[in-house]
């Protein structure tokens, strides 16, 4: 049986795991190898952000990890000021180090949960959220998080997401997770598959792409876009009306 939402990992437990896993998130060429099509997803969300949002003066990266997605976007918008948020201080330190080394000069870091940080309304042209929103739990949690994201984006700005997702139909869900399992086995055998599936079950509570697109519209975004989906991973976004 799947782990009930009430028994999922706490934020502290998630933070602790990521504190010890920085290097796995620090490869700009591959992204996280446990994520199908990670390099393509990074390319699609950053290029879409650049094409859909002009100018890009301010970027917020929620759950920035070691900074891969921000680094990709700064290749296109090198003068943008960047705010980085993560639960893990080691992740933030690595992200700032890598972005500074790549020429970024206007960088601020915030350790904590973006939902409770005092972020200024209508202050960001682009918000990035990669492999982070699947830690949201109940419906009310998802809606309040999406409403906060909407509130901090400037008119005409956008949000771009890559994440673990599930499917609405049970049989399609089984098919997609079996395909993902075979992908993991191709990387590290059955033991690696079981390891990844175990921490997904304990830590994560992903929702379907359809659920998230509907929610993006509900909280106020005027346009939504699906960029890519393969098995249990998707890249998508939304644009705020100007």
- The pLDDT of residue 200 is 93
Per-residue pLDDT band for 5 (boundaries 50, 70, 90) equals confident
pLDDT at position 7 is 87
32: pLDDT strictly greater than 80: no
pLDDT computed for residue 51 by the predictor: 98
pLDDT (mean) for 45-63 = 97
Average confidence (pLDDT) over 138-166: 98
pLDDT of residue 161: 98
Q: Is the pLDDT of residue 21 over 90?
A: no
Judged against a pLDDT cut of 70, whether residue 22 lies above it is answered with no
Pair type for strands 107-111 and 223-230: unpaired
In the numeric block, the tokens 């492999």 are attached to 131
Taking residues 36-65, report their average pLDDT. Answer: 96
On the question of pLDDT at 154 being above 80, the answer is yes
Contact 35, 134 (CB under 8 A): no
Whether the pTM exceeds 0.85: the reply is yes
Measure Cα distances from 92 to 108, 125, 158, 200, 202 in Å: 10, 21, 23, 23, 24
Domains of the chain are 5-239 (3.40.50.150)
Q: What is the rounded CA–CA span in Å between residue 44 and residue 227?
A: 7
* pLDDT range class, residue 33, cuts 50, 70, 90: confident
């Amino acid at each position: 049986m799947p782990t009930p939402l009430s028994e999922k990992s706490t934020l502290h437990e998630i933070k602790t795991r990521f504190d010890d896993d920085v290097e796995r998130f620090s490869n700009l060429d591959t992204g996280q190898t446990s994520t199908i099509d990670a390099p393509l997803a990074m390319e699609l969300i950053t290029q879409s952000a650049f094409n859909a949002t002009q100018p890009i003066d301010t970027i917020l990266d929620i759950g920035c990890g070691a900074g891969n997605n921000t680094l990709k976007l700064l290749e296109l918008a090198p003068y943008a000021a960047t705010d980085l948020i993560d639960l893990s201080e080691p992740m933030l330190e690595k992200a700032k180090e890598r972005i500074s080394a790549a020429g970024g000069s206007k960088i601020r870091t915030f350790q904590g949960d973006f939902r409770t940080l005092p972020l200024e309304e209508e202050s960001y042209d682009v918000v990035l959220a990669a492999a982070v929103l699947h830690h949201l739990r109940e419906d009310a949690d998802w809606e309040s998080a999406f409403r906060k994201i909407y509130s901090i984006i400037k008119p005409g700005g956008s949000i771009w997401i890559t994440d673990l997702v599930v499917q609405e139909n049970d049989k399609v869900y089984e098919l997609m997770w079996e395909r993902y399992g075979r992908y993991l086995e191709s990387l590290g055998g059955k033991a690696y598959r079981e390891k990844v599936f175990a921490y997904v079950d304990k830590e994560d509570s992903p929702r379907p792409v359809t659920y998230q697109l509907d929610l993006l519209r509900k909280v106020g975004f005027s346009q939504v876009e699906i960029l890519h989906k393969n098995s249990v991973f998707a890249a998508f976004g939304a644009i705020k009306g100007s």
